Amino acid sequence: MNRIFGSANDLTVALRVNGADGMPPASLELDCSVPWSRRKLAARQHIFHQGDEQSHVYVVKSGFVRLYSLLNNGRCQVIGFKSPGEFVAFEYGSRHRFSAQAVVATEMRSIPTAVFFAAASCDPQFLLRLYNVACEDLSRAHELVLTIAKRDAEGSIAAFMLEIDARAAARGKGDFVSLPMLRGDIANYLGLTNETVSRIFTHFKKRRLIEVRGRYGIRLLDRRTLRSIAEHVPSDRKAMDLESSYVARPMAALC
Amino acid sequence: MNRIFGSANDLTVALRVNGADGMPPASLELDCSVPWSRRKLAARQHIFHQGDEQSHVYVVKSGFVRLYSLLNNGRCQVIGFKSPGEFVAFEYGSRHRFSAQAVVATEMRSIPTAVFFAAASCDPQFLLRLYNVACEDLSRAHELVLTIAKRDAEGSIAAFMLEIDARAAARGKGDFVSLPMLRGDIANYLGLTNETVSRIFTHFKKRRLIEVRGRYGIRLLDRRTLRSIAEHVPSDRKAMDLESSYVARPMAALC
DNA sequence: CGTTATCTTGAGACCAGTCAATGATTGTGG
DNA sequence: CCACAATCATTGACTGGTCTCAAGATAACG
């Protein structure tokens, strides 16, 4: 988890990055002489497109954002969602590797990339943290791979709900979790179709695992069962092949 | 692409990181006062396990390595392969987030993580590069998501072959590409079964798209067709839903 | 309150997985 | 160096889960 706050006078930026698992939480301050800019976006407006020059570093103030990646032929894959407090663009490189789009009306903050990195360059500790944050994102991407490749549709959706729920809980919201994205977004994200997502939502509803309110609100009623569905493996063949070789004993430290 | 070389006297380390797409290639030197250690591993030996304390930074000298991630319940997902010259562990964090295992007899080099990062900390430019490398890996992970979620089995394997081929070409090897991993590894990596992989290999063979030599060697005969298979989308529903909203025009720079 | 977009639900088809048997490679011991 | 064993790859018949296509219900929004 990482958050950016504009300070009161808007001339100093405090960037806080909490520690990863097993690491003591750390808080770092990055000073730079440019204020954060604000901007409101309507639903469906893009913050940036894949391939665009990367000009700014962004953070979600309010609303909801989806990230997606395009193939050569125009198909797209949703690769993530961003809630308030989270970074939207945090890539180091000249061009954006994916697109970011507001799902609902959204408020963003930003500072120029050059300013951000110029300030960061003066602070090695901050840079190490930055690297750490990227590694976290990498872990998340690997998680997504696991979800798509090794679970059936029900497992994927159960895992998705639990993750969304956990992220919302971390931000201290109420029981109902908001899913501002469309069913089609969830489907795309998980490599399914919206029909399948819909069917499984109703199936979970009938089993009293979740409660659905309106189009965008759900509440988890039975996290235990959901977890077992997410961890259940449909087929031992596809899922595992955990032949002996994969779990061999640790070797002496390479040294 | 990034490579590490132990210098002649083994007391200095030169780390070279080539530029990413669109960036001028850069070469950075990182000096530290500890020699790289070497170690030979037999096939199937682990370099480290997921959850282990991260003690060293590694690079493949010769051989072949696979990376995989474990779910709670013991299933695993192959998340990458590493050839000579590539880093195996390059995470910043106290514990490894995945396991690394030699596929065939492999020679590794390593230095303690603490030494590596202590030296790196003195060099902000190097740290920025480090961050950049992590972003590259993140892009690769997103690519893998795309491959698994948005392609059918043939498309996945065609894409896989093209990637392996490109990586081998970058290292300047001959026509035949070595696939030291088992069919099951490829299948696991792509979210398929080894039977399906096998079927598609023979299918491609019959169509004269590839030539197979022994168990581990393949040569691409018709990259053009393979590319079209990789880019072909089996079903417009699953693949796209590229509703108008996804391709809206760029907005003015957020500023 | 009506229009539109989204969601739900159903019936049928197809791709990839499952199970099982055969064939090819690799490695080992006599 | 060869024969045998073990592992891995291939192939076939069958099953099943998810996609596809199409219709109807619900929710969002002006």
Residues of B in contact with A142 (CB under 8 A): 69, 77, 79, 97-98, 141
pLDDT of B211 reads 93
**In the 193-252 stretch of chain B, whose C-beta falls under 7 Å of nucleic acid strand D?**
194-195, 197-199, 201-202, 212, 215, 234-238
pLDDT of B155 reads 95
Q: Are B142 and A79 in contact (CB under 8 A)?
A: yes
The size of chain B, in residues, is 255
- Closest chain A C-alpha to B35 CA, distance in angstroms: 11
- Listed in sequence order, the residues at least 6 apart from A231 whose beta carbon sits closer than 8 Å to its beta carbon are A155, B71, B72, B73
Contact B254 A124 (CB under 8 A): no
Reported as type and span, the H/E element at residue A73 is none
Alpha-carbon distance A149 to A65, whole Å? 25
Query: Which bases along strand C come within 7 Å of a protein CB atom?
Result: 6-10, 15-20, 25-26
Q: SS3 of B44, please?
A: coil
For A92-144, what is each residue's pLDDT tens digit? 678 898 999 999 999 998 888 888 888 888 888 878 877 777 787 888 888 88
Alpha-carbon distance A92 to A172, whole Å? 31
Give the pLDDT band of residue A186 (cuts 50, 70, 90). very high
For B126-151, what is each residue's pLDDT tens digit? 788 777 777 878 888 888 898 899 99
Q: Is the CB of A7 under 7 A from strand C?
A: no
Reported as type and span, the H/E element at residue A101 is strand A99-102
Per-residue pLDDT at A4 exceeds 80: no
Pairing of strands B177-178, B99-102: unpaired
Q: Left, alpha or beta for B27 (phi > 0: left; psi -120 to 50: alpha)?
A: beta
Determine the distance between B96 (CA) and C28 (C1') in angstroms: 36
- Closest chain A C-alpha to B34 CA, distance in angstroms: 12
Alpha-carbon distance B195 to B221, whole Å? 23
Contact A128 B150 (CB under 8 A): no
Contact A191 B238 (CB under 8 A): yes
- Listed in sequence order, the residues at least 6 apart from B188 whose beta carbon sits closer than 8 Å to its beta carbon are A241, B68, B76, B77, B78
Which has more confidence, A131 or A37?
Answer: A37
Alpha-carbon distance B163 to B222, whole Å? 14
pLDDT of A255 reads 28
Q: Is the CB of B191 under 7 A from strand D?
A: no
Mean of pLDDT values over A144-168: 92
Please give the protein residue whose CA is closest to the C1' of the nucleotide C18.
Answer: A237
Q: Measure the N-to-C terminal CA separation of chain B; round to a whole number of Å.
A: 34
pLDDT of B173 reads 67
Most confident of A69-73, A112-116, A193-197, B141-145: A193-197
Residues of A in contact with B73 (CB under 8 A): 231, 233
pLDDT of A237 reads 54
Pairing of strands B65-70, B13-17: unpaired
For A11-34, what is each residue's pLDDT tens digit? 334 444 433 333 333 333 555 556
| DSSP letter for each residue of A191-252 | T--HHHHHHHHHHHHHTTSEEEETTTEEEES-HHHHHHHHH--S-HHHHT---GGGGPPPPP
Task: Give the ranges where chain A is alpha helix by DSSP (H).
Answer: 113-121, 124-150, 153-170, 183-190, 194-206, 223-231, 236-239
Q: Is the CB of B214 under 7 A from strand C?
A: yes
List of domains in chain B: 2-147 (2.60.120.10), 151-239 (1.10.10.10)
Lowest mean pLDDT among A4-13, A236-245, B74-83: A4-13
| CA neighbor of A145 nearest in space, from A209, A79, A64, A66 | A79
| Cα separation values, B90 from A156, B100, B124, B125, B238, Å | 29, 12, 17, 17, 35
Each residue's pLDDT tens digit in chain B (255 positions)?
333 333 322 333 444 443 333 333 333 345 555 678 888 888 888 899 988 998 888 888 888 999 998 877 667 899 988 888 777 766 767 888 889 999 989 999 888 888 888 888 888 887 887 777 778 788 888 888 988 999 999 999 999 999 999 888 877 767 888 888 999 999 999 999 999 999 999 999 999 999 998 888 999 999 999 999 998 876 655 544 444 455 444 333 332
| Long-range contact set of residues B224-233: C-beta below 8 Å, sequence gap at least 24 | B226/B158, B226/B161, B226/B162, B227/B158, B227/B162, B229/B154, B229/B155, B229/B158, B230/B151, B230/B155, B230/B158, B230/B159, B230/B162, B231/A71, B231/A72, B231/A73, B231/B155, B232/B155, B233/A73, B233/A75, B233/B150, B233/B151, B233/B155
Residues of B in contact with A239 (CB under 8 A): 75
Mean pLDDT of chain A: 77
- Listed in sequence order, the residues at least 6 apart from A173 whose beta carbon sits closer than 8 Å to its beta carbon are none
Per-residue pLDDT at A46 exceeds 60: yes
Q: Are A180 and A104 in contact (CB under 8 A)?
A: yes
Contact A45 B248 (CB under 8 A): yes
Dihedral (CA of A110, A114, A115, A119) sign: positive
Q: What residue of A is the nearest CA neighbor of B76?
A: A240
| Cα separation values, A212 from A175, A218, A221, A225, A250, Å | 12, 4, 10, 17, 46
Alpha-carbon distance A120 to A222, whole Å? 44
pLDDT of B226 reads 96
The size of chain A, in residues, is 255
**Which of B37, B134, B250 lies nearest to residue A131, judging by beta carbons?**
B134
- Closest chain B C-alpha to A157 CA, distance in angstroms: 14
Residue A166: how many other CB atoms lie within 10 Å? 11
Most confident of A168-172, A190-194, B123-127: A190-194
Number of CB pairs, chain A paired with chain B, less than 8 A apart: 245
Q: Are B182 and B174 in contact (CB under 8 A)?
A: no
| CA neighbor of A52 nearest in space, from B187, B252, B152 | B252
pLDDT of B60 reads 87
Residue B174: how many other CB atoms lie within 10 Å? 10
